[in-house]
Amino acid sequence: MNTEWSLSCLYQGYDDPAFAADMKAAENMIEELRAYLTGISERTEEEGAAWLINWLENYSTTFSNLSIYVSLRASTNTTDSETTAWDGKLMQLNSSVSKELAMVEKYLAGLSNLEGLEEKNPVVKEYDFYLRELKENASHMLSDEVEEVISKLNQSAGAAWEQMQQYLTSTVTANFRGEEVTLSKVRNMAYSEDASVRKDAYEAELACYDKIKDAIAFSMNNLKSQVNTIVELRGYESALDKTLKQSRMKKETLDAMLTAMKEYLPKFHEYLRAKAKLLGYQNGLPWYDLFAPVGECGKKYTLKEAKEYLISHFEGFAPDLAEMIRKAFDEEWIDFYSRAGKVGGAFCCHIPSKKQSRILTNYDGSLSDIVTLAHELGHAYHDRQIEDQRPLNLDYPMQVAETASTFNETVIMNAAIAEAKGGVKLALLESRLQDTTQIICDIYSRFLIENAVFEGRKERFFFAKDLCGLMVDAQKQAYGDGLDPEYLHPYMWACKSHYYSASLSYYNFPYAFGGLFARGLYAQYEKEGESFLPKYRALLKATTVKKVEDVAAMADIDITKPDFWRESLASIAKEIDEFVALADECADKKAKKSLPVT
């Protein structure tokens, strides 16, 4: 089994004639568009809409193949100068057509007889949601010239700041016990069975940020400032307002979810205190032991074992999902291990034209890493459900982007917990609650700091020490007395790439949405069994052509009210109660063993 992914389904390399041909094709398509637009006023709406939609489909497919290839190569080697150069060329190529793309969107948004066109052209009808969304967004578009300037300037502004954060965090080294190791490697040590390793790794990680904190602080400040400026120009109320509209989500839905989350935060604090007690702490859990393994499930899994584990647990749920997992392992869809220059974390990238996906992880063999694989494979399964949509109907908002991934986590962990007993069950519950606490407490802290930076950036600059202060305040609000206030993580703002995007803000609350929404869907699956699966697949497919509230309604769920979110959180609260009981039982046994023999 190869441990690195293969990108040969796209191109063999930058010297592949197919790569050069697609670059040339993209350039030619841009010239064709410019020529067509000069005479578009002489065309009927029927002719214009059909030609432009066909052009958009062809260009988006070709450019997508090129940009995905370059992006995936960059993610595994941020120091590759050739890849960096091609990335710049592609950005320049796409920005060169930004004025024309804005003209196309305005033309399609201004179609006067959409219903009539849909009756005559089935392709136009398939794009009903896409075209109506363009019409809704048209009020936020600027003049063609300004759109072109924004796109071109972004190459040396927002995009450059994004690259700086990625480069610095992927190349910085931490001094761990005299050895220089990558940031992703030292962060993975948080899952070590050795308590001293976890603590030393935490201290080494915090120390290494001193080398890069100022540059990353400038990245954060300038990205948020750029977003604030552009959203104001476009007439949005705020960056959050823009994100919600991009996400096809109502503010009342976000408010309902956050209301329920805040109500249940004390329950998560109870879990953290129980884990702290189990590990021998009296003042809450120190950050470096957030991911400390407990119970009797500390084994490491080889890649072969991980593959078998995943397939065996998903075969009973959805055979087509299990088969896709087998294919992902066997056909080199996954890049597993951490190495110098490779970005941290994990992600899944859809390659629509090839009906495949690519998954990046920093696999270290823990059960948590298997859950991460399940999560990313959930994204790939979502990709399979939408692969027959037309090329312009492939985008879904951030919230529902986390639905299939978190549903996968729920399936695999529920099955594993049901099979386990005693210390093994304690370990599995703990692993599950680790992840759930991340999407509730940690995500809430990320939402709080990003909101604070967006608002504060309108009037001031945040130096690294200021951002550290905001991060600690956010963590205290989110984690409460569950964590030891002396051992928090002031640099979480620096290591998370989610903050560093000029086009995508607030990539935090979608994780909570996806996790809790998946819980609600799983509850329906438990009630309905196999008959739920067709509904589930149809729901995933609809995420690209419906607003999130309408997607939820397909499963008879009203997400604009706190009650749904409370029900999902209540199911997690039951697991916390079970964990606390098992943890107390385990602590009592430890106490008895430590008593002197008389």
- DSSP reduced 3-state for 6: coil
Q: Is the distance from CB of 175 to CB of 204 less than 8 angstroms?
A: yes
Tell me the average pLDDT across 74-90: 95
148 — pLDDT class (breaks 50, 70, 90) = confident
Q: What is the CATH number of domain 17-153?
A: 1.20.140.70
* Cβ 277 vs Cβ 583: under 8 Å: yes
pLDDT of the residue at 151: 86
Q: What length does the chain have?
A: 598
Predicted TM-score (pTM) of the model is 0.82
Nearest to 269 by CA among 488, 492, 478: 478
List the Cα angle 296/298/300 in 5-degree steps.
145
Q: What is the pLDDT of residues 363-388, one digit of tens each?
A: 999 877 898 999 999 999 999 999 99
Q: Which CATH class, in words, describes the domain spanning 236-298+397-590? A: mainly alpha
- Which residue blocks in 283-335 are alpha helix, DSSP H? 303-314, 319-330
Q: What is the pLDDT of residue 398?
A: 80
Q: Which pLDDT does position 287 carry in this prediction?
A: 98
pLDDT of 598 > 50? The answer is: no
What pLDDT band is residue 298 in, cutting at 50, 70 and 90?
A: low
Q: Residue 173 in 3-state DSSP?
A: strand
Over residues 447-474, the pLDDT tens digits come to 999 999 999 999 999 999 999 999 999 9
**Which SS3 state, helix, strand or coil, does residue 39 take?**
coil
Is residue 27 scored above 60 in pLDDT? yes
Tell me the pLDDT band of 596, cut-offs 50, 70 and 90. Answer: low
pLDDT at site 421: 81
Which pLDDT does position 523 carry in this prediction?
86
What pLDDT score does 594 carry? 60
**Taking the CA atoms of the chain, what radius of gyration do you get in angstroms?**
25
Q: Where are the domains of the chain?
A: 17-153, 236-298+397-590
d(CA 561, CA 331): 43
Q: ∠300-303-305 over CA atoms, to 5°? A: 70
Q: Give yes or no for a contact between 434 and 295, defined as CB atoms under 8 angstroms apart.
A: no
Query: Is the pLDDT confidence value at 355 over 60?
Result: yes
Q: What is the mean pLDDT of the chain?
A: 93
First to last CA, the chain: 56
Residue 492's pLDDT is 97
Contact between 543 and 396 under an 8 Å Cβ cutoff? The reply is yes
On the question of pLDDT at 12 being above 80, the answer is yes
Tens-place pLDDT, residues 102-121: 899 999 999 998 999 999 99
Task: Please state the rounded mean pLDDT for residues 380-401.
Answer: 93
User: Any idea of the CA torsion for 148, 151, 157, 160, to the nearest 10 degrees?
Assistant: -140
Using CA atoms, how far residue 431 sits from 289, 298, 323, 398, 436, in Å, is 13, 11, 26, 25, 9
Please give the pLDDT value at position 597. 47
155 vs 559, residue with greater confidence: 559
pLDDT value of residue 281: 94
Same fold, 17-153 and 236-298+397-590: no
The mean pLDDT value for 168-195 works out to 95
Q: What is residue 388's three-state secondary structure? A: coil
Of the pLDDT bands very low, low, confident and very high (cuts 50, 70, 90), residue 406 is confident
- The pLDDT of residue 275: 96
| pLDDT of 236 higher than 90 | yes
Residues 481, 483, 487: CA angle, nearest 5 degrees: 130
Output the DSSP codes for 343-384.
-SS-EEEEEGGGTEEEEE----SSHHHHHHHHHHHHHHHHHH
Which has more confidence, 153 or 488?
488
Please compute the mean of the pLDDT values over residues 577-587 and round it to a whole number: 88
Nearest alpha-carbon partner for 429 in 444, 416, 438, 448: 416
Beta carbons of 446 and 493 less than 8 angstroms apart: no
Cα–Cα distances (Å) from 306 to 265, 361, 370, in that order, read: 33, 13, 6
Amino acid at 254: L
Query: 476-508: per-residue pLDDT in tens?
Result: 999 999 999 999 999 999 999 999 999 999 999
- b/e map of 319-333 (b: 16 or more CB within 10 Å)? eebbebbbebbeebb
Percent of the chain residues past pLDDT 70, beyond the cut: 98
Mean pLDDT for 151-172 is 92
